[in-house]
Structure 1
Amino acid sequence: MKMNNIRTIKGGGNLRGKIKVSGDKSISHRALIIGSIAQGETTIEGFLHSEDPLSTADCLRKLGVNIPEIKKDEPFTISGVGLNGLKEPEEILNCGNSGTTMRLLMGLLAGQEHKNFILTGDSSLNERPMGRVGKPLSLMGGKILGRERGNKAPISIEGKKLKGCLIGTPVASAQVKSAILLAGLKASGTTSVIEPASSRDHTERMLKAFGADISVRGEFGRNVVIKSGANLIGQKILIPGDISSASFWMIAASIVPNSEILIKNVGLNPTRTGILNVMDSMGCNYEVLDKSIVAGEPIGSIKVKTANNLQSFTIEGDLLPKLIDEIPILTVAACFCDGVSEIKDAQELRVKETDRLKVMTRQLRKFGAEISEKEDGLIINGQSQFNSAEVDSETDHRVSMSLAIASLLAKGTSKIIRADASNVSYPAFWDDLAKLVN
């Protein structure tokens, strides 16, 4: 991934206009995977044409699934191979920088009997923790090996006959849960996942739409139960805009003076709308319009105007899994609220694409932010005066975009190094920014 490019951003202007953000990254991955193991054809529209989901498509092709070349903004159709139709690949499956690809494929492949698979990724992905997926799959009878006692890639999987069981996950992670549910499709009997707090439920919604025997007990998917034996049937899927990508504009329009933005067709899944809860507590000025439901996923458009005297906020506990990807941009927002904001219980951010707590602290201080790092979070003093700076995404897509929004509030012209990191989840980000800035 070449990322030597530099973007310059002039502070000052305001943001006005309408945009449609990139398709939801989580749903794009799942549409490919579940469509591949369904019977018949699955047509996908609104797919996020970015590095991570394209890594998933590439791996599935090597497993024998017929996925055409995916072109930006064009629908495409997959021919599913059914639950037993995946082939042993002739080469190593490269997941690029995508933790979702690696973790979900571990679950998908663990039950493919008498076949062997090796998964690897780039240097950043190969340092991320995979034991949290490998361990529960081993409990089901999976045979998964890797570096550092199975905790790091490259990962080797020997497909085995799996047995359904009851698994409690120590962290609320949609990726861990999804891997177990995908393994549960091939396991004997019933597989049940109990989470400490609710994580994103895109996998459950989509499996249900494809005909899996899946039920959710307890509020917000604390206990998800899947029975093997049901065939998945191909579907038409429209992928909504990614609320994590929309959040950059939602926060930007809230904190950049004289701004007003309309973001069309955003996914409003209740396990992902934590950002709206925080915007409510900040006193942001927004409304949700044109609500509807597509393939089990709620969508709508969000209109945001600048709000004055934003209030500081605290993020902790059960709210965290619902906005894990929005923490970098909310850290920027906190710099412009009245009072002291605090982010707690966010240890998970230390094992994302980068250690996001450390990186956001290090970079925002260059603008003049008053921010201090704790083991599990951040303390941010509001009412900052930002001055232009030279900052670095440190190769993290969400950091790159957060620094772009921060630069709009700095006096003078700022430089962002390795700005192209944003391509991982939002390739059109810089074009959209240029379109909105006045």
Structure 2
Amino acid sequence: MTTIAARPLGQGGLNGAIDAPGDKSISHRSLMFGALAVGRTEVSGLLEGEDVRATAGAMRALGATIERRAEGRWSIDGVGVGGLAEPSGVLDMGNSGTGARLLMGLVAGHDITATFTGDASLSKRPMQRVIEPLSRMGAVFQSREGGRLPLTVTGPETAMPIDYVSPVASAQVKSAVLLAGLNAPGVTTVREPKPSRDHTENMLRQFGAEVESREEDGLFVAKVTGQPELRPQTIEVPGDPSSAAFATVAALILPGSDVTIRNVGLNPLRAGLFEVLRAMGGSIEVLGERVQGGEPVGDLRVRGSDLKGVAAPPANAASMIDEYPILCVAAALAEGRTEMRGIEELRVKESDRIAVMVQGLRAAGVEVEEHEDGMTVHGGAGKCPAGGCSIDASHDHRIAMSFLVLGLAAEAAIEVTGAETIATSYPAFTGHFRGLGADIAEI
């Protein structure tokens, strides 16, 4: 188990520039969709964290040829829609909930059987939300109680297209159903109560699939026409806004900071955190806005700011669901209270992020209230929290990174145990922060 300590920064803040690591969601999909195309897809900027490598290994086991050419540069020789092969061994997805759920959709659309496993954290996460619609399409599942891994899925001889009304707005559920629908005759439809991130729809269009997205009768609808021939693409993966969030908040809460984070994906269905931080008074300037691989991208210049507490709109939850842990850190240094409600989804992430953040914030000297559907953080108006504590990351990379950022602004160092999980999504985290002037190191 790895322990990393973050020590108070002192005067001067963070200064410099970093490149945002490749977007994890888009990296997963680049490998999957490249494997379903006929021909060679070339990808640059691919995130090489453990989660994405697990997806690469699974796609190889399913018949695709995937090679790493250089840092961040990968090629995928696809087998075509309907061409996936039955794997000879178990598909180990590590810590990746996205990889596991999306791949279950792919397998559920093929006449093959595959068994999924994962680490201790992933094995606790419920998969019933994808099992239910995929079963309607003809797939058969065997799993532990509660739909948990290890899990075996057997796809039908011919998958049936469905019109599915999802009870939650979830890009993972939507994507799993649409991916199963790729190999089904006819049109597969998913209807959600709120819009969820649309990387699957954007990228499927780029590969040549017929995809519709629209609002209809108060629901947000995505449709895919099955059995297309996907065309190989050249993909430049934008930077991950969820990873860029850590340097963004660190720069905001540390006086004197001036940090530029280059190449950040700014898809409006992913950028909710930046809206909330601006509403808190954060100085976040977007430079060089452009479109890259069908996604809006820009460079963020972030400077130290006096933040004020806000009520984070529940309507924004889907666009920033992974960023609430680091928002808690911003809230801890803000003036007044920051309320985060309507985020009960956090209880079934890599950890129960609500409970773990509340426990850790209290250990660091931050006043916080826990609610069933969220939390309220009472900020110190720029006064440093005590720190001087050890935090168990609970197998959760975003928890680990959030408390390391808090350690930079605390009176005494914060140690995070289980910090090896950071490698699942942001292997360069400590290097990037040290380059900006932070005292973060393994102990």
Normalised by the length of structure 2, the TM-score is: 0.94
1:362 maps to what in 2? 359
User: CA offset at residue 187 of structure 1?
Assistant: 1.2
Aligned residue among 336, 343, 346 for 2:343: 346
Deviations 1:190-229 (A, max 9, x none): 1110011111100000000000010101289910011113
Q: The residue matched to 2:309 in structure 1 has which SS?
A: coil
Deviations 1:27-50 (A, max 9, x none): 000000000011111000000010
Taking a change above 3 Å as real, the CA distance of residues 267 and 8 of structure 1, as seen in their structure-2 partners, is closer
2:169 maps to what in 1? 172
Q: The residue matched to 1:302 in structure 2 has which SS?
A: strand
Taking a change above 3 Å as real, the CA distance of residues 213 and 242 of structure 1, as seen in their structure-2 partners, is same
Q: The residue matched to 2:65 in structure 1 has which SS?
A: coil
2:249 maps to what in 1? 251
The answer as to 2:144 corresponding to 1:147 is yes
Alpha-carbon contact 2:19-2:262 (below 8 Å) kept: yes
Deviations 1:342-371 (A, max 9, x none): 110111101111111111111111221001
User: CA offset at residue 378 of structure 1?
Assistant: 0.3
2:320 maps to what in 1? 323
1:409 maps to what in 2? 409
For residues 61 and 400 of structure 2, the distance between their equivalents in structure 1, rounded to whole angstroms, comes to: 32
For residues 296 and 80 of structure 1, the distance between their equivalents in structure 2, rounded to whole angstroms, comes to: 21
2:20 maps to what in 1? 21
User: CA offset at residue 184 of structure 1?
Assistant: 0.8
The answer as to 2:234 corresponding to 1:233 is no
1:206 maps to what in 2? 203
Alpha-carbon contact 1:11-1:413 (below 8 Å) kept: no
User: CA offset at residue 8 of structure 1?
Assistant: 4.3
The runs of 5 or more residues in structure 2 that have no matched partner are: 439-443
Deviations 1:32-81 (A, max 9, x none): 0000011111000000010101000011111111011465x241211011
For residues 394 and 165 of structure 1, the distance between their equivalents in structure 2, rounded to whole angstroms, comes to: 37
The answer as to 2:156 corresponding to 1:127 is no
1:97 maps to what in 2? 95
Aligned residue among 163, 176, 189 for 2:186: 189
For residues 85 and 230 of structure 1, the distance between their equivalents in structure 2, rounded to whole angstroms, comes to: 12
User: CA offset at residue 416 of structure 1?
Assistant: 2.4
How do residues 212-223 of structure 1 correspond to structure 2 at under 5 angstroms? 212-218=209-215, 222-223=220-221
2:385 maps to what in 1? 386
Deviations 1:277-326 (A, max 9, x none): 10121011121011111221111101011112x22111242200100111
User: Greater shift after overlay, 177-186 or 312-321?
Assistant: 312-321
The answer as to 2:13 corresponding to 1:4 is no
The answer as to 2:60 corresponding to 1:57 is no
Aligned residue among 77, 82, 85 for 1:84: 82
Aligned residue among 103, 107, 110 for 2:108: 110
Deviations 1:385-431 (A, max 9, x none): 41232222222111111111101111133322222321111000000
Q: The residue matched to 1:55 in structure 2 has which SS?
A: helix
For residues 287 and 132 of structure 1, the distance between their equivalents in structure 2, rounded to whole angstroms, comes to: 38
Q: CA-atom RMSD, angstroms?
A: 1.6
Poorly superposed stretches of 4+, deviation over 6 Å = none
Query: 1:346 corresponds to which letter in structure 2?
Result: I
Q: The residue matched to 1:291 in structure 2 has which SS?
A: strand
Alpha-carbon contact 1:390-1:417 (below 8 Å) kept: no
The answer as to 2:315 corresponding to 1:312 is no
User: CA offset at residue 380 of structure 1?
Assistant: 0.8
Alpha-carbon contact 1:368-1:385 (below 8 Å) kept: no
2:441 maps to what in 1? none
For residues 412 and 360 of structure 2, the distance between their equivalents in structure 1, rounded to whole angstroms, comes to: 17
1:332 maps to what in 2? 329
Q: The residue matched to 2:167 in structure 1 has which SS?
A: coil
Alpha-carbon contact 2:110-2:159 (below 8 Å) kept: no
Q: The residue matched to 2:16 in structure 1 has which SS?
A: strand
Alpha-carbon contact 1:391-1:417 (below 8 Å) kept: yes
Query: 1:342 corresponds to which letter in structure 2?
Result: E
1:66 maps to what in 2? 65
The answer as to 2:420 corresponding to 1:420 is yes
Query: 1:400 corresponds to which letter in structure 2?
Result: A
Q: The residue matched to 1:84 in structure 2 has which SS?
A: coil
Alpha-carbon contact 2:262-2:300 (below 8 Å) kept: yes
1:260 maps to what in 2? 258
Query: 2:409 corresponds to which letter in structure 1?
Result: L
Alpha-carbon contact 1:11-1:411 (below 8 Å) kept: no
Normalised by the length of structure 1, the TM-score is: 0.96
For residues 422 and 97 of structure 1, the distance between their equivalents in structure 2, rounded to whole angstroms, comes to: 11
